[in-house]
C-alpha cells in the first residue's frame, strides 16, 4: 500500500510517516521507482507509534517501546520502567504548570489593568531574578519530560 493508504489506516499523517522513516522507526519497502510500499506490519507499527505519541512518549522512548513490542521475549518490567519514567515526567510537568499558573494568577490579580503604565506583570518579566517558569522539562522530543 502507498503512504496515503498507510496514513489513513494508521491514523498517522504522511509527513510524520516520512519522518519516522527518516529516523529509522519504520522501514517500508521501496519499489524500483523509489515509491514506498507499506506492509500490514508497517501499518501496525505506525498505529502503535501514533498511540504512544498521543500519550506523550518522546521519540527515544517510542523507539524503546517499539523494540520491546517487537520482542516476544520481553520482560514487562522493562516496559513498566519506561512508562513509570514517563509518568514521573508528566507529574513533574503538571507540578511545573501548577506553579506557573499560580505565579501568573498572582501577577494578574496584582495588576490594576487600568490606563496607568505601572504593571506588576511587566515588572516581573523584566527583572533578572528567577524565570517565571522552569525550563528544560518541555523538550522537543519529550524525553526530557513530556
Query: Does residue 10 carry a pLDDT above 90?
Result: yes
Q: What is the DSSP letter of 143?
A: S
Q: Domain check: are 102 and 45 in the same one?
A: no
Q: Do 146 and 56 form a contact (C-beta atoms < 8 A)?
A: yes
DSSP structure string for 16-49: HHHHHHHTTS---EE-TTS-EE--HHHHHHHHHH
| CATH code, domain carrying 47 | 1.10.1660.10
Q: Domain check: are 43 and 74 in the same one?
A: no
Q: How many domains does the chain have?
A: 2
Q: Of 116, 97, 114, which Cα lies nearest the Cα of 105?
A: 97
Query: Does residue 142 carry a pLDDT above 80?
Result: no
Q: Domain check: are 79 and 137 in the same one?
A: yes
Q: Domain check: are 50 and 80 in the same one?
A: no
Q: Domain check: are 50 and 62 in the same one?
A: no
How far apart CA 96 and CA 58 sit, in angstroms, is 19
pLDDT band per the 50, 70, 90 thresholds, residue 127 = confident
Q: Of 54, 73, 142, 80, which Cα lies nearest the Cα of 65?
A: 80
Q: Which domain holds residue 78?
A: 58-146
* Reported pTM: 0.76
- What dihedral angle (degrees, nearest 10) is formed by the CA atoms of 61, 63, 65, 67? -150
Amino acid at each position: 500500500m502507498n503512504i496515503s493508504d498507510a496514513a489513513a489506516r494508521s491514523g498517522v499523517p504522511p509527513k510524520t510517516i516520512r519522518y519516522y522513516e527518516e529516523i529509522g522507526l519504520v522501514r517500508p519497502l521501496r519499489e524500483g521507482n523509489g515509491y514506498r510500499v507499506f506492509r500490514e506490519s508497517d501499518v501496525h507499527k505506525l498505529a502503535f507509534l501514533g498511540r504512544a505519541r498521543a500519550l506523550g512518549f518522546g521519540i527515544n522512548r517510542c523507539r524503546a517501546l517499539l523494540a520491546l513490542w517487537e520482542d516476544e521475549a520481553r520482560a514487562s518490567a522493562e516496559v513498566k520502567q519506561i512508562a513509570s519514567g514517563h509518568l514521573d515526567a508528566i507529574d513533574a510537568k503538571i507540578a511545573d504548570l501548577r506553579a506557573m499558573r499560580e505565579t501568573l494568577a498572582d501577577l494578574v490579580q496584582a495588576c490594576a489593568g487600568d490606563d496607568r503604565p505601572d504593571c506588576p506583570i511587566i515588572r516581573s518579566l523584566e527583572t533578572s531574578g528567577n524565570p517565571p517558569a522552569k525550563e528544560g522539562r518541555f523538550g522537543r522530543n519529550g524525553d526530557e519530560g513530556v
